[in-house]
Amino acid sequence: MEPTTASTLASPAMRRGLYIENQPFNSGYLPEQDGHSVFFEQCGRPNGKPCLILHGGPGGAINPTMRRYFDPSRWHMVLFDQRGCGRSTPNASLDHNTTWTLIEDIERLRVQLGLEKWTVFGGSWGSTLALAYAIAHPDRVEALVLRGIFMGSKRELHWFYQNGASMLFPDVWERYVAPIPMEERGNLMAAFHKRLTGSDPVAQAEAAAAWSQWEGDTISIRGPADRPDKFNETAFAVAFARIECHYFMNGCFFEEDDWIVKNLDRIRHIPGWIVQGRYDVVTPMDAAWRVKSGWPEVNFNLIWDAGHASTEPGVIDGLVRATDAAFSL
């Protein structure tokens, strides 16, 4: 496979759309481990080419749209709700909830389903987990399809949660910091973490709503109207914010900052595609460019009229074309 770098600003008529809606043909739970029951579902063609679809966050959840980036007549799609979120239980639990326990869950799921290898698909935190899994188990990954690259570095976290994105969205930023007293705003992640893991349910819900809405309002260049409805749901917001903040306060549980970039040599033989919005504020292009620099074989598709959301037209087009190409391997 010859790597390519493309910049896309295609007309709407030229862009691919999502595949048809499709329903799971099977769902269930992995055997309980560390007190967690992990929900999974299988969609598409039972004997099709296997792929694993990872949701974002951490602390997000799977949704029906995630199935529609793959041709359901050709792919065997596997999705799961990561520990503490979605239909996995206990909800919002932080116990034994790390990048490495999620990777253990992925391997348990692969073995339970009897799959030798699979294509791994993920955006935002899903790209982080996909890359970490591939680095840990390169022999189990046939291809990687990634969007909105995030490496969990101090630089990225400071940009989005302390100082950087705030200069582009000062109006939205005011709502984000509102639950935090002025004297605690020198370390916003720590201030949110105290409330999200504290015993006051009112303070927790208020902090969770502000944290989640901040991401929801900056996710798309099309504005807050493109924010998923789930960001307005209290239960989702609490799990999402608690788990995200837990991971970010712990550097996503990597041994060192930039762990992913420093280990890219382990996956350079794996075919890969990156779809990146030029105006992505949540996970700016710098991280994707650094991954591309350390993995020059990857196909890199820069979408000029897109931000972070997976539902922006140019991003949909890039991801659907990437999964079609991955099927042909």
Q: Using CA atoms, how far apart are residues 33 and 297, in angstroms rounded to an integer?
A: 37
Residue among 135, 125, 184 nearest 160 (CA): 125
Exposure on the CB side of residue 304, measured as CA atoms within 13 A? 6
Q: Which listed residue (36, 76, 105, 124) is catalytic?
A: 124
Residue 50 near residue 76 (C-beta atoms within 8 A) = yes
For the question of residue 127 being annotated catalytic, the response is no
Residue among 279, 328, 269, 321 nearest 300 (CA): 321
For the question of residue 158 being annotated catalytic, the response is no
Residue 120 near residue 141 (C-beta atoms within 8 A) = yes
Give the pLDDT of residue 36: 98
pLDDT tens digits for range 9-39: 556 679 999 999 999 999 999 999 999 999 9
Q: Which listed residue (71, 81, 105, 280) is catalytic?
A: 280
Beta bridge partners of 147: 123, 275
Burial 190-208 (b: 16+ CB within 10 A, else e): ebbbebbeeeeeeebbebb
Mean pLDDT of 176-199: 98
Q: Which listed residue (166, 308, 310, 317) is catalytic?
A: 308
Residue 121 near residue 145 (C-beta atoms within 8 A) = yes
Q: Using CA atoms, how far apart are residues 259 and 63, in angstroms rounded to an integer?
A: 29
Q: What pTM value is reported for the model?
A: 0.95
pLDDT tens digits for range 136-183: 999 999 999 999 999 999 999 999 999 999 999 999 999 999 999 999
Beta bridge partners of 7: 302
Q: Using CA atoms, how far apart are residues 54 and 147, in angstroms rounded to an integer?
A: 11
Token readout for 153 is 């570095």
Helix axes 125-136, 99-112, angle to 10 degrees: 70
What's the chain's average pLDDT? Answer: 95
For the question of residue 27 being annotated catalytic, the response is no
Is the pLDDT at 255 greater than 70, yes or no? yes
pLDDT tens digits for range 70-114: 999 999 999 999 999 999 999 999 999 999 999 999 999 999 999
